[in-house]
Amino acid sequence: MKNRRLRSTSLLAPTRRTFLKAGGAALTTALAMPYVARAQDKVLYINTWGGPWEEAARAHLFDPFTAETGVEIRTVSPVSFAKLAAQVQTGVYEFDVTTLGGAELVRANQAGIIEEWQQAPYEGGLFENGIASHAFATVLGWRTDKYPDGPKTWADFWDVERFPGSRSLQRYPARVLPLALLADGVAVDDLYPLDIDRAFASLDRIKPHVLVWWTAGAQSTQILRDGEVDMIGIWHGRYFEAEEAGAPVAMTWDDGQVDRAYWVVAKETPNAEMARDFIEFATSGKPLAGFTVSGDYGPLNKAAYEFISEEEAQRMPTSEANYPKVFEQDIANLGVDPSELSQRFEEWLAA
């Protein structure tokens, strides 16, 4: 593979980076070393989700980037907006690069805690100083042993007379409220800004039938696979895990809700230029293709599809066949402050 030339870091001012304690005295000592000494060793610190996400990233993004550039990737998990904000405020950096969802990205950019980009590494990839990487969709899944012929729409999910049974939705208002509006007859093109009062009125109707408000992806897979619920709003990758485990399940891409994930660089990190090089690599066609196939995501750089088979693309919300069926969140036009929405949602759940 042709070597990628890293931008020079020689003009960076010497400083110290202090990290949280890690296991082992040797690692603690290494992390306490002056940054300028570690910079000579070409080390980049990336905040990750851990688990299968990091395994896919390690295989297709981190290790290939190291092989091409000589830059070692060290990881810190889980992803934390609070840590990103704190390290920028204190100048004590635990990581250089992280990923954010759309809502967190808007908050981070408004707060001035991420580096600016003058242009995207690929056409259409820049939003609020984040570089779009991959996407996942919240889709409608169900047990075929309970519903051999459906449901097919979010209106069906809300229709407890035609489709009696237990439901599950994610405990995440920015994803749940659009589904509630679709179920109430709002067209996709008219979703944003969200009609918050109408959405909560719709949620009132389904609330008694939602057995589980799931909070972790693995939890959603488990309750669908084991038949604890009959239908569910679930991330598409987690649905496929239940299907591959042999559970009698089905899903539809129709009106699946797409969330984008973005790479960002921590504001004023001394490794900013190295971080940009990594993000350019991670969002280029071949590495991104490998990561999204392995992690069950959809690439946002269309060039990745040159390295993805037709069979693999069938599992992706951004593929040519599936993308017309789904809709994307419009975080910039949500119509309400995300923190206020979260507070109202939690109060509604507790009522």
Cβ pair 267, 112 in contact under 8 A: yes
In this prediction, residues 85-92 reach a mean pLDDT of 91
- A 10 A CB-CB count for 72 gives 14
Instruction: Kindly tell me if the per-residue pLDDT of 12 is higher than 50.
Output: no
Structure confidence by residue, pLDDT tens digits, 228-255: 999 999 999 999 999 999 999 999 999 9
Structure confidence by residue, pLDDT tens digits, 63-75: 999 999 999 999 9
Structure confidence by residue, pLDDT tens digits, 162-173: 999 999 999 999
* pLDDT for the residue numbered 49: 87
* pLDDT for the residue numbered 136: 95
Instruction: Kindly tell me if the per-residue pLDDT of 18 is higher than 50.
Output: no
* pLDDT for the residue numbered 5: 28
Burial of 34 (0-12, 13-18, 19+ CB in 10 A): exposed
In this prediction, residues 106-116 reach a mean pLDDT of 93
Strand 97-101 versus strand 167-170 pairing type? unpaired
Q: Which residue has the tokens 């109408």?
A: 198
Residue 13 main-chain phi, psi, to 5 deg: -70, 140
* pLDDT for the residue numbered 338: 81
**Rounded to whole angstroms, what are the CA distances from 172 to 166, 189, 318, 341?**
19, 22, 22, 10
* pLDDT for the residue numbered 235: 94
Reported as type and span, the H/E element at residue 301 is none
- Joined tokens for residue 286: 């071949």
Please state, rounded to an integer, the average pLDDT across all residues of the chain: 88
- Joined tokens for residue 240: 């496929």
Name the percent of the chain in helix, strand, coil, to the closest 5: 45, 20, 35
CATH code: domain 25-134+260-321 is 3.40.190.10
DSSP E strand boundaries for the chain: 43-47, 72-76, 97-101, 126-127, 130-143, 167-170, 210-214, 231-235, 249-265, 298-299, 327-328
Residue 115: which of 216, 11, 264 has the closest Cα?
A: 264
DSSP state of 325: G
**If pLDDT is split at 50, 70 and 90, which confidence band does 23 have?**
very low
Cβ pair 236, 139 in contact under 8 A: yes
* pLDDT for the residue numbered 10: 28
* pLDDT for the residue numbered 227: 97
Structure confidence by residue, pLDDT tens digits, 273-292: 999 999 999 999 999 999 99
Q: Where in the chain is the domain with CATH 3.40.190.10?
A: 25-134+260-321, 136-259+324-350
Instruction: Kindly tell me if the per-residue pLDDT of 339 is higher than 90.
Output: no
**If pLDDT is split at 50, 70 and 90, which confidence band does 40 have?**
very low
In this prediction, residues 1-24 reach a mean pLDDT of 32
* CATH class of the domain comprising 136-259+324-350: alpha beta
**If pLDDT is split at 50, 70 and 90, which confidence band does 41 have?**
low
* pLDDT for the residue numbered 9: 31
Structure confidence by residue, pLDDT tens digits, 288-333: 999 999 999 999 999 999 999 999 999 999 999 999 999 999 988 9
- AA letter at 70: G
Confidence (pTM): 0.81
Instruction: Kindly tell me if the per-residue pLDDT of 112 is higher than 90.
Output: yes
* pLDDT for the residue numbered 6: 34
**If pLDDT is split at 50, 70 and 90, which confidence band does 39 have?**
very low
- A 10 A CB-CB count for 8 gives 9
**Rounded to whole angstroms, what are the CA distances from 226 to 111, 243, 284?**
43, 11, 38
